[in-house]
Amino acid sequence: MAVPFLRLRQVCLVAADLARETALIKSTLGLEECYRDANVARYGLENVLFPVGTSFIEIVSPTRPGTAAGRFLERHGGRHGYMVIMDCDDPAKWQARAESLGMRVANVIRHDGYFGVQLHPKDTGAAMLEFNCTTGGGDPMGPYAPAGPNWQAAIRGDVARRLVAVEIDCPEAGRLASRWGELLERPVEDLGEGKFRVSLDAGAINFLPGDRPEAVLAGVELEAAQPRNSVSSVCGVRFRLRPDDARAAGAASAR
């Protein structure tokens, strides 16, 4: 029997200019693209994926008017993330859980051993959420259909090593954290200063106080390869590069 798991696996951003943002993510985060999925053309999109360790950053861009991603761009002025994507052992379980809480399913995707369930962002209160699984994908280094057949060869760790968390900026961070904690069946950790966290089996979702009237996916936290902090912006989303605490402490003691 498969061991149940729920991992933060992928963050999806939206760009009006895919080539520009692809170049920016390579230059600022040191990542290498692993895949462009022709299947997204049915949604009027083109995309590119980058591995960060065994997780992924995806950028999608509209190729025709009237797409959901295009409307998102218009509504948010090219700022904020689009989707928080988790892989798991059983998406149907999370679909049933969401529906029991009154959250609508926006889309179900099935193809070639892949099963994904996407929840409506108006019901999640922020970004679209997706639960997915790939046949044989229990091992983080194993198959992950959205990233193509050879994604492991594109892993680079010179700048960014691991996806640590996504950051949701909220007018009421505690309330939204409780809502997501209830959906994900995980406890909510109070970090102080109005900040909250829901931890998964890999990665976490941080809920931060924000000054906008709505909750938005505004940030991504990555583990840095070097013992220093930095912040950059891709697709209007802040990327925080932070060193692993143990490695940073070791580097400091060596000086």
User: How open is the CA angle 175-217-66, to the nearest 5 degrees?
Assistant: 120
pLDDT at 151: 98
H-run or E-run covering 165? strand 160-170
Question: Tokens 């025709």 sit at which residue?
Answer: 64
Q: What is the pLDDT of residues 176-227, one digit of tens each?
A: 999 999 999 999 999 999 999 999 999 999 999 988 888 999 999 999 999 8
pLDDT at 177: 98
CATH superfamily name and code, 6-154: 2,3-Dihydroxybiphenyl 1,2-Dioxygenase, domain 1 (3.10.180.10)
Mean predicted confidence (pLDDT) in 8-25: 95
pLDDT at 245: 61
pLDDT at 132: 98
Q: How sure is the predictor about 246, in pLDDT bands with cuts at 50, 70 and 90?
A: very low
Q: What is the pLDDT of residues 129-144, one digit of tens each?
A: 999 999 999 999 999 9
Q: Which residues of the chain are in CATH 2.60.40.4320 domains? A: 160-254
Q: What is the pLDDT of residues 103-162, one digit of tens each?
A: 999 999 998 899 999 999 999 999 899 999 999 999 999 999 999 999 999 999 999 999
On average, the pLDDT of the chain sits at 92
Closest CA to 240 of 228, 248, 251: 228
Q: Which residues of the chain are in CATH 3.10.180.10 domains? A: 6-154
Q: How sure is the predictor about 249, in pLDDT bands with cuts at 50, 70 and 90?
A: very low
* CATH ID of 160-254, from 2.60.40.4320, 2.60.40.180, 2.130.10.10, 3.30.1300.10: 2.60.40.4320
In the beta sheet, which residues pair with residue 46? 61
In 3-state terms, the chain is what percent helix, strand and coil (to 5)? 25, 40, 35
Residue 96 has pLDDT above 90, yes or no: yes
Q: For residues 10 and 113, give the distance between their C-alpha atoms in angstroms, rounded to a whole number.
A: 18
